[in-house]
Structure 1
Amino acid sequence: MPPLPRPPAPDPDQKPWQWPEPVWRGLVDRVRAGRRLAPERWPGGAPFAVAISFDSDHETNDLRDGGASISRQSWGQFGPRKGAPRILDILRRTDTPASFYVPAVSALLHPDEQRQVAGEGHEIGIHGWIHELNSVLPYEAERDLMLRSADVLEKIAGTRPRGIRTPSWDFSPNTLTIIREMGLTYDSSLMADDDCYELVQDGVPTGVVELPVEWIRDDAVYFGMNRFAGLRPYTPPEGVLDIFRRELEAARDEGGLFQLTLHPHIIGARSRIWILEEIIALGRGLGAWFGTHGQVVDHVLAACPAV
């Protein structure tokens, strides 16, 4: 599938308020939220669903920027050495399925981790090649990296990925075209709803499901830091749990989906890993159905057939 025609390019001599309607409407319509995929019932009659995910970035957070910092790479290595084992232990003890989105380079550096994740019944999805930013890539390069990433994950984990989460949730004008070309079932990078929805491209429904993310349901925004800019985490773990808990309880009240994004090198710290176990316990106590992102997508597609 070749790249779709681009909307009329903005005139560089014009300010946004001077753009004619075809320009701003074309930009907005490239990828939009279509029909909402919110089932009336969840498996087993559960009142709502919980989908927990982990972005196994590991060393690629530094490598994508040139790989100059041994310190940052060691922080990334904490993910497979300590974070992932702690996470898998909790998932195993609580019988909780999860989805792991893995850059191909992370999988090549730590293949045994991916085999263990897949072997314990969890989903592995595409998360770029080296955690690159899609929006700075030409179509051919983005397509090549996504295809190569799928090949690597299939070879290592034994199953070809059905879904993608773009690195840093960065979505180029060509990303959805490539997703469709690859025959992927779903994406989990965009934020137009709390519940799943169908992606629409240039006004045309695509059949691709979006399982939306949100920065407030991501551990990185609360615990990240930049030592050179003097930026430090400002939300204590108890505060982060409170935000996640309120999101989870609201999903229960609405009968919808609670989706969570965590990172092994971040949530895996001794002072934070308890948040994961607490969220699982809270969800279980409220009667949630827990599924991988792929399982959630399968359920909403079956429960919300196209008209």
Structure 2
Amino acid sequence: MTDFPPIAFNRAAPAPHFPWPNGARSALFIGFDVDGETAWIGNTPANGDRLVTVSHGGYDGRVGIERILTLLDELKLKATFFIPGWTALAHQAQCVPIVEAGHEIGHHGYLHRRPERGAFEAAREEIDRGFEALDRALGVRPIGYRAPSGENFPELLAYLTDSGVTYSSSFRDDIRPYRHRLHDDRPGPIEIPVNYAFDDWNFGMTSRVDPRPIFGREAVLNLWIDEFEATHSWGGVTTMVLHPQVSGRPMRWHLLRDFLRHVAARDDVWIATGAEIARHYAACEPTSL
């Protein structure tokens, strides 16, 4: 039987209290995971022979990315796009406009393979190839990272730090940013924690190989508004995990627009990219610890 010492897995200090800019009560972080086909082949290579299954991810390049950029332009909002390196290379013509529109690019692995502690070299290769591909396809070296399949481990967190990653947006254990403490006691990246309720994949994606119910507009919109309003009242950050192959679909595009309009109508919410939130946290950190 595997046993674990009764010590918290996350060694980071509690999230400090600091003011949001311009008197805002909370922050909204709009993050898109532009997985493309990697969501379907990264952890299941056999899907490479299943063209209909993989076509779910192909929607990103054919429709989803362009529609999401249109929405953000309409609402005059900036977002962070976490893009696997393979996606940036395979759909370069669709990803370049993300950069040209002034949105932030984040690291999301290379082939969206889930990091495993027992395969550290493979996980490190995913990081290195992701950086190389994003530089080659888009001319950027990201400072933000979202873990493919939402997973991480201590040695990988340290490698991300050594590779110049300033912030992560993967963990689900807080409602405010905090700084990781690495296994060797060095300070690690700033974490902008995720709220799983704002992962659109949970409500709008199903397939033959991963069947799940699809939720309608009112169920999701009401959930998002209620969760946002409660997070806002607590002074937290509402971090969204969105996918063009989900929220770039017609009804869900309108659903996302309605939610973003609801938030943007307030004058006490700071809508910011991950890099902006991380910079603000770092500027406040000396007086908040």
Would the TM-score normalized by the shorter structure come out above 0.5?
yes
Q: In the superposition, relative to structure 1, how do residues 172 and 214 fare at CA in structure 2: closer, same or farther (>3 Å)?
A: same
Instruction: Specify which of 34, 44, 61 is matched with residue 13 of structure 2.
Output: 34
Of residues 248, 257, 275, the one that matches 1:277 is: 257
CA distance in structure 1 between the aligned counterparts of 2:118 and 2:32, rounded to whole angstroms: 25
User: In the alignment, is the contact (CA less than 8 A) between 2:113 and 2:126 conserved in 1?
Assistant: no
Distance 1:226 1:176 in 2: 32
Distance 1:34 1:176 in 2: 16
Q: Deviations over 1:82-137 (max 9, x none)?
A: 11111101101111010011111101101122211011111111111111011166
Tell me, yes or no, if the aligned pair for 1:38 and 1:256 is still in contact at 8 Å: no
Instruction: Give the counterpart letter for 1:266 in structure 2.
Output: V
The corresponding residue for 2:134 is 153
Q: Which residue of 2 aligns with 1:99?
A: 80
Q: State whether structure 2 residue 174 is matched by structure 1 residue 193.
A: yes
**Which moved further from structure 2: 170-179 or 261-270?**
170-179
Q: Which residue does the alignment assign to 1:111?
A: 92
Q: Distance in 2 between matches of 1:83 and 1:123?
A: 17
Unmatched runs of 5 consecutive residues or more in structure 1: 1-14
Larger radius of gyration: 1
Question: In the alignment, which of 168, 171, 174 is matched to residue 155 of structure 2?
Answer: 174
Q: Which residue of 1 aligns with 2:32?
A: 54
Find runs of 4+ consecutive structure 1 residues off by over 6 angstroms.
none
Identify the residue that residue 212 of structure 2 maps to in structure 1: 232
TM-score (structure 2 length as normaliser): 0.91
Match of 1:257 among 234, 237, 240: 237
AA at the equivalent of 1:271: M
**Cα RMSD between the aligned structures?**
1.9
**Which SS does the other structure have where 1:250 is aligned?**
helix
Q: Give the structure 2 partner of residue 206 of structure 1.
A: 187
Report the CA distance between 1:154 and its aligned residue. 2.1
Q: CA deviation at 1:271?
A: 1.2
Match of residue 272 from structure 2:
291
Runs of 5+ consecutive residues of structure 2 not aligned to the other structure: none
**Counterpart of 1:235 in structure 2: which amino acid?**
F
**Counterpart residue identity of residue 222, structure 1:** F
* Alpha-carbon offset, residue 202 of structure 1: 3.2
Distance 2:144 2:37 in 1: 22
Whole-Å Cα distance in 2 between the matches of residues 104 and 273 of structure 1?
25
- Structure 1 residue aligned with 2:51, among 70, 73, 78? 70
Cα distance in 2 for residues equivalent to 1:81 and 1:234? 22
C-alpha distance in 2, partners of 1:44/1:93? 24
Q: Which runs of structure 2 are paired with 1:7-26 in the superposition (5 Å)? A: 15-16=1-2, 19=3, 23-25=4-6
- Say whether the 8 Å CA contact 2:195–2:238 is kept in structure 1: no
Q: How far did residue 49 of structure 1 move?
A: 1.1
Matched residue, 2:246:
266
Q: CA deviation at 1:150?
A: 1.0
Secondary structure, counterpart of 1:289 in structure 2: strand
Separation (CA, whole Å) in 1 of partners of 2:185 and 2:16: 17
Q: Deviation per CA, 1:9-57: give whole Å up to 9, x if none.
A: xxxxxx35xx4xxx4247x44x4332314422x2222222111010001
Q: Is the 8 A contact 1:180 1:208 kept in 2?
A: yes
1:246 corresponds, among 199, 215, 226, to 226
Match of 2:124 among 134, 143, 159: 143
Following the alignment from structure 1 to structure 2, what is the Cα–Cα distance between the partners of residues 252 and 35? 19
Matched, 1:128 2:106: no
Cα distance in structure 1, aligned partners of 2:16 and 2:163: 22
CA contact (8 A) 1:153 1:160 kept: yes
